[in-house]
Amino acid sequence: MLRFGNFLFPEARTPEMDAQVIAESLEEAQLCDELGMEALWLAEHHFDGNCAYVDPVTFAAAVAACTRRLSIGFAVAQVSLHHPVRLAEQIALLDNLTQGRLIVGLGRGTAYNVYEYQGYGMDWREAGARYEEAEAVMLRAWTSPQGFEHHGRFWSLKVPQLRPRCWTSPHPPLLRAASSEEGALRLARRGLPFLMNVQSLAVTEARLRAYRQAMEEAGHDAAHIARCLAASWVWRNVVVAETDAEAARIGLPAFEAMQAQRRALRERIHAEQGLRMVEEAAPPARVQAGHALICGAPDTVAARMGEIEATGVGGVICAFRLGPMPAEVARRSIRLFMAEVAPRFRADGLGAA
């Protein structure tokens, strides 16, 4: 059974739009809860308006207060930008507020937007090392009832005891981002599920085969491999309309405008500073509509989702509101998806609640 979540990744093109888009995002969260969506996924990006609410930890508390059933996931918290004890406390509080509805997706931080690190006064080249140390600290904070000491490269800590304790013992479900095959394979060897960024179907298929094989070679049994695959998610942008033509009319311009907006500040920083985190020889899958966008009538979208289901992954994180798309257009797409696409993947065949 393929599960579906909404990636709530709303763009606000000007500061004057922030309050409106944040309010609309809470309404979209409530709609997903009412329609029986499995999960709502929250992003973290700073300074550019590409994620209007900016901070998934704070925004998750607001979502928790206005929803009752859906899981709330991070895709992902940029761990290198946070103090690990503070983040561990915040997640423990959220786990209590949601009474176990939290899914904690962790990542080192953006691989593209150097200004996010600069804005926090941090060297982007330290992001990976900071992430590894921070994750270790967070795990100790959640699992050390008598407190602990940590002396590392970035933090020296003497923590008496973390309060509140997590609602979920010993901590909420954790997922790690893997933007490369090697990253996915490292998680496979550790026997851990993962979050995959936008890739082509061919890359998704190949990566999941390699992930499964690496788990087998590391000695994980079939039941554990199945659990990890079921807990892993891939990301696609999704637009559903009554016809393929109508979906293309709505979706393609919004997708292209979204990609242009996401490049804008990155390219300005490059022009001003000559600094770019990664050089890409060809446009990656995430910016190509043919790979990154599932767009069409319900039958078309269901067929594309069926191809993803065949890879063995457990869920698809669907971004419905793309770039400058009006909130009501995104809501119509979500309603149609939950009424006519999602029920085809329900094991009981009963459709959305």
Q: CA 128, 119, 11: angle at the middle one, nearest 5?
A: 95
**Residue for token digits 């309404």?**
27
Residue 223 lies in a domain: yes
Domain count within the chain: 1
Q: What is the CATH number of the domain that holds 96?
A: 3.20.20.30
Q: Which of 264, 235, 240 lies closest to 251 in space, CA to CA? A: 240
**pLDDT tens digits, residue range 62-80?**
999 999 999 999 999 999 9
Average pLDDT over the chain, rounded to whole? 96
* 352 found inside a domain: no
What pLDDT, on the 0 to 100 scale, is given for residue 280?
Answer: 85
199 pLDDT tier (thresholds 50, 70, 90):
very high
Does a structural domain hold residue 199? yes
- Look at residue 353 and tell me if it is in a domain: no
344: Cα within 13 Å, side-chain hemisphere: 14
The pTM of the full predicted model, rounded to 2 decimals, is 0.96
Residue 230 lies in a domain: yes
Q: Say which residue the tokens 């992930």 belong to.
A: 211
In a domain? residue 222 = yes
Q: What percent of the chain has pLDDT over 90?
A: 96
Q: Is residue 111 part of a domain?
A: yes
- 88: containing domain: 3-345
Q: What is the mean pLDDT of residues 237-256?
A: 98
- pLDDT at 178 exceeding the cut of 50: yes
Taking the C-alpha atoms of residue 18 and residue 177, their distance in angstroms, rounded to an integer, is 27
Closest CA to 42 of 101, 121, 118: 101
**Quick one: pLDDT at residue 282?**
86
Kindly state whether residue 210 falls inside one of the protein's structural domains: yes
Q: Are 37 and 8 in contact (CB under 8 A)?
A: no
